[in-house]
Chains A and B, each alone.
Chain A
Amino acid sequence: MTATLATEPARVAATGQRDGFAGTGALLRLTIRRDRIIASIWILLFVIMAASSSSASQDLYNTLESRVRAANAVNDTAATLALYGRVFDPTSLGAVSLIKLGAMGAALVALVAIFTVVRHTRAEEEAGRAELLGATVVGRYAPLTAALLLSVGISLVLALLTALSLIGTGLPAAGAIAFGLSWAGAGIAFAAVGALAAQVTEGARTARGIAASVLAAAYLLRAAGDASGTDDSTWLSWLSPIGWAQQVRPFAGDRWWVLIYLVFFAALVTVGAYLLVARRDHGAGLLPQRPGRAAAARSLSSPLGLAVRLQRGGLVGWLIGMVIGGLAFGSIASQVGEFVDSDSARDMIMKLGGERGLVDAFLSAEMGIIAVVASAYGISAALRLRVEETTFRAEPILATRISRVRWAASHVTIAIGGTTLLLLTVGVFAGFAYGAAADDMAGFGRVLTAALVQLPAVWVLTGITVLVFGFAPGLVLAGWGALVVFLMLGQLGPIFELPQWAMNISPFTHTPKLLGGEFAAMPLVWLTLVAAALVAAGLVGFRRRDIG
């Protein structure tokens, strides 16, 4: 030992380890083995999203005139500029049909990249599995390198397949490749951000939060930059990696050189991550662990108190998202009349109830999307029960005088209360933004109602999750499966002209669509009863089964 130190002291001191990359190949194979299914699903979803968006628009925007009108509707409205970005070439079919997926899609790819990197770095370290591997012939940099390679690989495969599918729908090849690479660039840039965030904190949850906040900030920067310019994006958009992805301008000039910004940014941030890896201890973060309270607060004396404590951080994040989403949807709704570009469509909508009916229809559609998002929150909040059970943290609680039902009810309460709070928040902020923008404060109540009528259907998803948790805990991911099925029924049902009974399986089918005259309370009452019955049955099942 002394001899080796004497012969090569400088090199060992600089890297802390002789061959920091040893074992990277083996780790990369392990990460691919672990992620092969989930990564394939992600890639497939993005490819389908892009291809279906493109092919659906082919007929809609088959004339130059229709394209320019649609593009102007986006470019002339600050709210849509902020949400989607600018259509850089109003005459280009590709640019018009993929406007909704440019920045949004890039941000979603970035989110996948962040989750992938953190999952294979900090989360492994926190779980103690990285230590098991770290004691074998695995270099200090190997886990980070493997995670980054996997993430870059996913981004590039996703880009390639997306480009091919877009070419398949008839769009120009150069633009399609530029579009795919703009997504991949965002993925690679934020994989690096995830890698850096993973070095900073001891907890994977916090690392994901930090990286996602950077992503949100990048999105907001470009939103401000895009919305504030009159003919072009302002310099603010150029401060944001998501802005750069847009500035590649696929199908509108294909500016390949902008991709260098993304690659350079990713390289710089990655170097930062490597510097931190070399300097920190295994398992430690940069942010010092703050000491906690020596004694519990009064609020931490019931299962519900514990559930609130465990879930409040996540809920706050979701609420912030709902505030932003609500403000965006509300201000867009106020301008919805300008969107409708065909006179006949406008006439039809006028017959249905005029401008107000149109706004209601738009709100109802947007709130339908919000309902799916809120359902996802409800499912994940209820799934916390299973997480607590499988990590053996439920056992000590259930060995006290707390009954099983009371313990389970605590997290169910968070799921039900949390979804209520989310829709209330989105309703209030959308209502406020709508009222202020349209100068119609009477609209506030209508917007809020449009949000709140979604609740019973959202609760049904929570109910399904609790039911499966109670009777078949091993299949608890079926809650997500149900959401996907209902989503597909809603999206594809009308296209394939499915029979009504099939459509009726989805709780979202029963949510009233128009708030005006046909507003019906009965379906809402029924949905609420179904949700309550599902939760109750789940709790009964949980009382009877083995724990663990």
Chain B
Amino acid sequence: MTTAISVSGLVKTFGQTRALDGLDLTVRTGEVHGFLGPNGAGKSTTIRVLLGLLRADAGEIRLLGGDPWADATSLHRRLAYVPGDVSLWPNLSGGEVIDLLGRLRGGLDTQRRADLLERFDLDPTKKGRTYSKGNRQKVALVAALSSNVELLVLDEPTSGLDPLMEAVFQDCINEEKDRGRTVLLSSHILAEVESLCERVSIIRLGRTVETGTLAELRHLTRTSISAELAAAPNGLTNHPGVHDLQVDGTHIKFDVDTKELDAVLRQLTQVGVRSLTSQPPTLEELFLRHYEADMAIENGKHAAVAK
């Protein structure tokens, strides 16, 4: 297995602000990689370093086997980029922008362009200033998806798209995956990441805090269990993997560390289980855990200042 993107120890500072603080990211060739993090975590900065728009202060960065700063133009032939906030020229039509970007990238598939315009229900004759946010996003998406490139770099590509178009987008990304393309997908829409991505990286304050397959990440968190038992439970209170236990006669509810699931379930079946529902952790919970950690640090800072 080869890697499309490998970043280690990436540092980027803007004046006093340390936007990226030793970030690591590995995207394997042919995978759809989810790139998550709260606002201001450094996702767009990382992407702009990967595109050679910003120069890294420190760190090892390889993109499609090259150096994104030194080999920018030759690497750009092989990738397409959709920015998070698409800004179009007011007096150019959407169709003109799609063609322009396609040509500058080295050609686009006209058949696919027509097909995508149809699927995204986009009128290419409207001028840039008259498009809504969602439609501007569609212009950039059609331009990127109708080019024949190895790597798609998408920075929150579906912000502003309606649910119907979100579904079209997911279909398109799945097709890209089938055609063997690599996708780096920065997103806030966790359902989208869950349904599209094999592996995800979560970043916070310019550092990578989690990376791996969704299954691996789930393993690190807790599953919620709600069960009706044959008798009162025993010994669960002392079990180190069990949290937030609530006992109401024979009905119990608790969260369990996913790696302790086996042991805890064995204990339950000893008592006898009448009914059981279990809920795997959602990506949202994974994400919120880090987000809350962020808030805690922020609050800590404020508290320190207040003192």
- A residues engaging B (CB < 8 A)? 126, 202-203, 205, 289, 291-297, 300-303, 305-306, 309-310, 391-393, 395-404, 544-548
Q: A401 contacts which of B53, B54, B74, B90 (Cβ < 8 Å)?
A: B74
A297 and chain B: residue at smallest CB distance: B96
Q: A292 contacts which of B76, B92, B101 (Cβ < 8 Å)?
A: B92
Nearest CB of chain A from residue B14's CB, rounded to whole Å? 8
Q: With A and B bound together, what is the CA distance between A291 and B131 in angstroms?
A: 12
Interface pairs (30), CB distance under 8 Å: A126-B129, A202-B129, A203-B90, A203-B91, A203-B129, A205-B90, A291-B127, A292-B94, A292-B95, A292-B127, A293-B93, A293-B125, A296-B97, A301-B100, A301-B104, A306-B89, A393-B89, A395-B81, A396-B86, A396-B140, A398-B53, A399-B80, A400-B106, A401-B73, A401-B76, A401-B77, A401-B104, A401-B105, A401-B106, A403-B73
Q: Size range of the interface on B? A: 35 or more
Q: With A and B bound together, what is the CA distance between A281 and B73 in angstroms?
A: 44
B51 at the interface (CB under 8 A from A): yes
Nearest CB of chain B from residue A404's CB, rounded to whole Å? 8
Main secondary structure of the interface of B (DSSP, over half): mixed
Q: Are B99 and A303 in contact (CB under 8 A)?
A: no
B55 at the interface (CB under 8 A from A): yes
Contact residues in B for A399 (Cβ distance below 8 Å): 51, 53, 76, 79-81, 153
Most chain A CB inside 10 Å of its own CB: which residue of B76, B98, B140: B76
- B residues engaging A (CB < 8 A)? 48, 51-55, 72-74, 76-77, 79-81, 83, 85-101, 103-106, 124-127, 129-130, 140, 143, 153
Q: With A and B bound together, what is the CA distance between A401 and B64 in angstroms?
A: 14
Q: Are B101 and A396 in contact (CB under 8 A)?
A: yes
Q: With A and B bound together, what is the CA distance between A425 and B206 in angstroms?
A: 55
B117 and chain A: residue at smallest CB distance: A294
Contact residues in B for A395 (Cβ distance below 8 Å): 48, 51, 53, 81, 83
Q: Are A547 and B95 in contact (CB under 8 A)?
A: no
Q: Are B93 and A294 in contact (CB under 8 A)?
A: yes
Q: Are B87 and A391 in contact (CB under 8 A)?
A: yes
Contact residues in A for B140 (Cβ distance below 8 Å): 396
Q: With A and B bound together, what is the CA distance between A545 and B130 in angstroms?
A: 33
Contact residues in A for B94 (Cβ distance below 8 Å): 292
Nearest CB of chain A from residue B63's CB, rounded to whole Å? 12
Contact residues in B for A401 (Cβ distance below 8 Å): 73-74, 76-77, 104-106
Nearest CB of chain B from residue A113's CB, rounded to whole Å? 24
Q: With A and B bound together, what is the CA distance between A231 and B95 in angstroms?
A: 59
Most chain A CB inside 10 Å of its own CB: which residue of B74, B83, B90, B126: B90
Q: With A and B bound together, what is the CA distance between A126 and B90 in angstroms?
A: 9
A546-B53, A547-B48 known; A400-B95 Cβ under 8 A:
no
Q: Are A293 and B54 in contact (CB under 8 A)?
A: no
B81 and chain A: residue at smallest CB distance: A399
Q: Are B81 and A396 in contact (CB under 8 A)?
A: yes
Q: With A and B bound together, what is the CA distance between A301 and B95 in angstroms?
A: 13
Q: With A and B bound together, what is the CA distance between A547 and B77 in angstroms?
A: 19
Q: Are B126 and A291 in contact (CB under 8 A)?
A: yes
For the complex with contacts A296-B98, A301-B104, 6 further pairs of A-B residues with Cβ separation under 8 Å are A202-B129, A393-B89, A395-B48, A395-B51, A401-B73, A402-B76
Nearest CB of chain B from residue A426's CB, rounded to whole Å? 27
Q: A396 contacts which of B83, B96, B99 (Cβ < 8 Å)?
A: B83
A202 and chain B: residue at smallest CB distance: B129
Q: Are B87 and A393 in contact (CB under 8 A)?
A: yes
Q: With A and B bound together, what is the CA distance between A404 and B51 in angstroms?
A: 12
Q: With A and B bound together, what is the CA distance between A403 and B51 in angstroms?
A: 12
Contact residues in A for B74 (Cβ distance below 8 Å): 401
A293-B96, A294-B125, A546-B53 known; A402-B104 Cβ under 8 A:
yes
